């Protein structure tokens, strides 16, 4: 009889231990899935905070190309730019170090940074001017031009 009670007590302790372990595992899984959607945003915010300062009014050479608002050049929502604005003439895709709303002068014309460059160009001095047609974009090509950043992040 005493032996049966000891076995029952040991079994109850083991069940309690397994219940606690199962609860902790479920809690860990729940935390992992609830935090996952925010990981990219937190990293993007941290990356933006550590960017180098932007020099206003200083001219420098940059690679400028052109693009159009078409799915083969952008994504499945070509009418929407990375800033959330609808495409318009005078928009510019900029490197990640420039905030949306930054005003950039290229060849005497002012453009507003509303979009982002492809990932391979985000940390360089490449810019893309939004054009109305592919013919205009191909005619513009890729050029090394002088640019001036006149206002940073004007939103």
User: What tens digit of pLDDT does each residue of 19-49 get?
Assistant: 878 777 776 666 555 544 444 433 333 334 4
Same domain (yes/no): 39, 71: no
Same domain (yes/no): 31, 74: no
Same domain (yes/no): 117, 68: yes
Same domain (yes/no): 143, 100: yes
Contacts of 130 (CB under 8 A, 6+ apart): 66, 67, 68, 69, 87, 88, 89, 90, 91, 92, 93, 115
% of the chain surpassing 90 pLDDT = 14
Tell me how far apart the alpha carbons of residues 25 and 29 are, in angstroms, rounded to a whole number: 6
Any idea which residue has 């499945």 for tokens? 76
Same domain (yes/no): 19, 37: yes
Q: Are strands 91-94 and 109-116 parallel, antiparallel or unpaired?
A: parallel
Condensed to tens digits (0 to 9), the pLDDT of residues 70-105 reads 766 666 666 788 888 888 887 888 888 888 888 999
Same domain (yes/no): 78, 144: yes
Same domain (yes/no): 11, 86: no
Same domain (yes/no): 72, 99: yes
Same domain (yes/no): 144, 93: yes
> Tokens standing for 137?
């974009």
Q: Count the domains in the chain.
A: 2
Residue 55 has pLDDT above 60, yes or no: yes
Same domain (yes/no): 44, 81: no
pTM above 0.75, yes or no: no
Q: What is the CA radius of gyration of the chain?
A: 27
Same domain (yes/no): 76, 139: yes
Residue 127 near residue 93 (C-beta atoms within 8 A):
yes
Same domain (yes/no): 46, 73: no
Domain range enclosing 79:
59-151
Largest CA distance in the chain: 97
- CATH number of the CATH domain containing 101: 2.40.40.10
Per-residue model confidence (pLDDT) at position 50: 40
> Tokens standing for 120?
């391979």
Per-residue model confidence (pLDDT) at position 105: 92
């Amino acid at each position: 009889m005493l032996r049966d009670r000891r076995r029952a007590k040991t079994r109850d302790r083991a069940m309690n231990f397994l219940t606690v372990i199962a609860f902790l595992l479920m809690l860990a899984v729940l935390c992992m899935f609830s935090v996952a959607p925010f990981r990219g945003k937190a990293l993007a915010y941290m990356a933006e905070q550590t960017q180098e300062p932007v020099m206003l009014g200083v001219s420098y050479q940059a690679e400028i190309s052109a693009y159009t608002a078409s799915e083969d050049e952008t994504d499945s929502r070509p009418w929407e730019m990375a800033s959330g604005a609808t495409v318009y003439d005078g928009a510019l895709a900029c490197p990640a170090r420039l905030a949306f709303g930054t005003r950039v002068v290229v060849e005497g014309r002012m453009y507003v940074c509303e979009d982002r460059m492809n990932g391979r160009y985000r940390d360089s001095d490449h810019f893309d001017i939004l054009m109305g047609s592919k013919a205009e974009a191909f005619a513009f090509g890729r050029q090394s031009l002088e640019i001036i950043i006149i206002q940073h992040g004007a939103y």
